[in-house]
Structure 1
Amino acid sequence: MTQGNRMDDRNADKVVVIGPERWLEHARRFSDFTHLQESVFATAMADRTRSELEHVVIERSGMMRAAAIVRIHHVPIGRDIAYINGGPLMLLKEAGSSPPVEDILAALRSEYQVRRGCLLYIQPTITSFMEIDDLQGQILAGGFEPDASRRRYRTILIRTDASIEVMRQSLHGKWRNSLKKAESSGLEIEDDDSPEMLARVDPLFSDLVQQKSFKTLMPSGTFTSLQWSDGRSPVLRAAVASLEGTDVACLLYGMHGLGAIYLVGASGADGRRINASYLLQWHVIRRCHDAGVRWYDLGGIDTDDNPDVYRFKDRMGGKKVELPGQWRAMGGGVRGLLTRSLVRLHLRRNARITGRSIR
């Protein structure tokens, strides 16, 4: 790896470390840039998992072709783990064509698996899968395989580039009736990316966690504590429904380039009574449409352990999608097998994160 200086072979893709202060200007050039590759959010996640972060770009002849925030977890026994969640970013807006996925993955393997001896895991965004032809085949050709120790990612996608009339007609009749009730209830919707708006998510979300007793990687106060250098998140937004001046429901979502994703939703008793969550979801769908976003990912489904939430999402008229949740670089030898065994034990000890939590 180089620290900004160039290697002699200018025809090879290489991994270059950049400072976190330069990350946003690079990441914003990608259509698949999400909250998972947002520096402040990734730092908060790294702190909770006791990992280190590296901000890197993959370039050739001085031209950026991909980028990633790499989370590195040091393992006392076995090999360190390098993990790219929500990346690598590959849909460069000005490129005009699909990226050389195999070359990008080869550069990452060369740096982290070969040179440093890490186990390397990646989890590209749903937007990448939707926009890059045969991405799964290209990932396999790039030397990665689905990680059988992790659950496959099942979700529902809503095409938000259709007309408002078509999207509303696609809603299940019962869902549409619940939406009509919410629309006539006098709710006011506010939507913003400011820290003040994100902080309004915390109380409702914390109440939900306590009531439902589910595990989450983002504990109470998380959204209040996130601080961006320019005062606003580049990808996270909060929509809050209020009734007579009191917040009754909230929805946190990420919006980026070609896609958006539902992250957290919570309603108080008054919000549930008037179906506020229906109005919030419809608000986000319309906002995605107005912003030119193609896909709205409903944030995962679990038909067995969370059937009520699955039914709510299924009635929104989207398309069911199932993809490998995580990919790992092939190979690794005996030490790699040992480390993967330790990782599986760690995953089994942790309570499973539900579909309501942030991934």
Structure 2
Amino acid sequence: MKLTVRSSTISEGEWDQFILAESPWAFFQSFAWGETQLLEKVAVARWEFLLDDRKIAQAQTILVKAKRGTFLHVRHGPVVNRELVNDNLLWRQILEFLAAEAKKENAWFCRIGPLLANTQETQRLFANLGVRPAPIHAMDAEYTWVLRLNEAEETILANMRKTTRYLIRQAEKQGVVVKASHQIEDFLRLYNQTAKRQRFVPHRGIEAEFAVFSKRGQAELLVASHSGQQLAAAVILYFGKQAIYHHGASIVSKISASYLLQWHAIKEAKKRGLEWYNFWGIAPEDKLEHPWQGITLFKKGFGGELRSFVHAHDLPVSPLYPVSATIEAVRKRLKHY
């Protein structure tokens, strides 16, 4: 098996078609996400891997230049044909190519995060490839909570935690109003307050993300208000058959606006004919001090199920890799991830 690799020049539709056919959860491999990174002045490359002129894999890479070191990041990828996803030789050739690209960029390592089911078979595959588990917490929705949308609204409500259902109805009685907005500034104002209150580093690029996905009809900003005051907001992104609760923000209030906001987002996803509502990442059950415990309880209250994907792995290409790995491991421990 000898691979041919080419820099991709295919259309957005063709690129996403392969992603959705082989790894439909792989949001960060979407063409639009790459365009978001380009808007943020991040170096992006798209690669196609072919065997006898048949495409069997794709990879969208970004070059991350951080204080802890430069690395080539393949978030939610590479995406490999389902029939070949456990082929050791194929993966070795893909990794060999990515390692060479990382070296060209003077990167310290290449980080991959394909959304493969976290099974023993997948873990054995990666153990045999010579890559090592990334010294970071389960980010990029490796451990995520999703809700099937094939049931009637009444059934979805009935399957929610009793408290969640009560707070949704209470917000309706209190007169909370949820509306779509095109003013990303509304969200950012609440988001910055949330970040300060919960002591986390705000995500960069939300404004660019919203601009890129809105242009494609793949984003919606929902804002929940009471008596004219904005209490909560959420950025919902659409990719394939899923709606993704990608960013949320709120202020401290006795009014349960966030619950009604999520219920509106779920109903909108159903109206669009989507199959899944993706609440995004949650805390692992065995991590009782994890900083996401509160938001995890909130998300699980709406009903749903867990999706667990294999953890991201690193392929070191520089003797400087241990420096970056040590910094990330210490951060993880200090933040109780």
TM-score, length-scaled by structure 2: 0.75
Deviations 1:327-355 (A, max 9, x none): 234xx5xx65x333122133256588989
Q: How far apart are the structure 2 equivalents of 1:217 and 1:211?
A: 15
What SS does structure 2 have at the residue aligned with 1:56? strand
The answer as to whether partners of 1:36 and 1:42 remain within 8 angstroms in 2 is no
Query: Mapping of 1:1-359 within 5 angstroms?
Result: 12-18=2-8, 24-29=12-17, 30-31=19-20, 32=24, 33-35=26-28, 37=30, 38-43=33-38, 47=41, 52-73=43-64, 81-90=71-80, 98-101=82-85, 102=87, 105-113=91-99, 117=103, 119-125=109-115, 129=117, 136=122, 140=126, 143=129, 145=131, 147-152=133-138, 153-191=142-180, 196-218=182-204, 222-226=205-209, 232-233=215-216, 235-269=218-252, 272-302=253-283, 303-304=288-289, 305-329=291-315, 336=318, 338-348=319-329
The answer as to whether partners of 1:253 and 1:260 remain within 8 angstroms in 2 is yes
The answer as to whether partners of 2:71 and 2:110 remain within 8 angstroms in 1 is yes
The answer as to whether partners of 1:216 and 1:354 remain within 8 angstroms in 2 is no
Specify the code of the residue in structure 2 equivalent to 1:204.
L
The answer as to whether partners of 1:147 and 1:324 remain within 8 angstroms in 2 is no
What SS does structure 2 have at the residue aligned with 1:150? coil
Q: How far apart are the structure 1 equivalents of 2:242 and 2:121?
A: 17
What SS does structure 2 have at the residue aligned with 1:177? helix
Deviation, structure 1 residue 135: 7.8
Q: How far apart are the structure 2 equivalents of 1:224 and 1:76?
A: 23
The answer as to whether partners of 2:6 and 2:49 remain within 8 angstroms in 1 is yes
Q: How far apart are the structure 2 equivalents of 1:72 and 1:151?
A: 20
> Quick one: structure 1 residues 68 and 238, their matched pair in 2 at CA, closer, same or farther if it must change by over 3 Å?
farther
Provide structure 1 residue ranges, at least 5 long, that are not aligned to the other structure: 1-10, 92-97
TM-score, length-scaled by structure 1: 0.71
Q: How far apart are the structure 2 equivalents of 1:39 and 1:324?
A: 22
The answer as to whether partners of 2:134 and 2:311 remain within 8 angstroms in 1 is no
> Quick one: structure 1 residues 231 and 254, their matched pair in 2 at CA, closer, same or farther if it must change by over 3 Å?
closer
Q: How far apart are the structure 1 equivalents of 2:78 and 2:272?
A: 24
Report the identity percentage. Answer: 17
Specify the code of the residue in structure 2 equivalent to 1:34.
F
Q: How far apart are the structure 2 equivalents of 1:75 and 1:212?
A: 23
Deviation, structure 1 residue 326: 0.5
Deviations 1:206-232 (A, max 9, x none): 1211222222332xxx43355757961
What SS does structure 2 have at the residue aligned with 1:325? coil
Specify the code of the residue in structure 1 equivalent to 2:303.
G
Q: How far apart are the structure 2 equivalents of 1:314 and 1:255?
A: 20
The answer as to whether partners of 1:35 and 1:236 remain within 8 angstroms in 2 is no
Alpha carbon RMSD of aligned pairs, Å? 3.8
Q: Aligned residue pairs: how many?
A: 315
Q: How far apart are the structure 2 equivalents of 1:201 and 1:260?
A: 18
Provide structure 2 residue ranges, at least 5 long, that are not aligned to the other structure: none
Deviation, structure 1 residue 312: 1.4
Q: How far apart are the structure 2 equivalents of 1:341 and 1:177?
A: 50
Q: How far apart are the structure 2 equivalents of 1:144 and 1:292?
A: 42
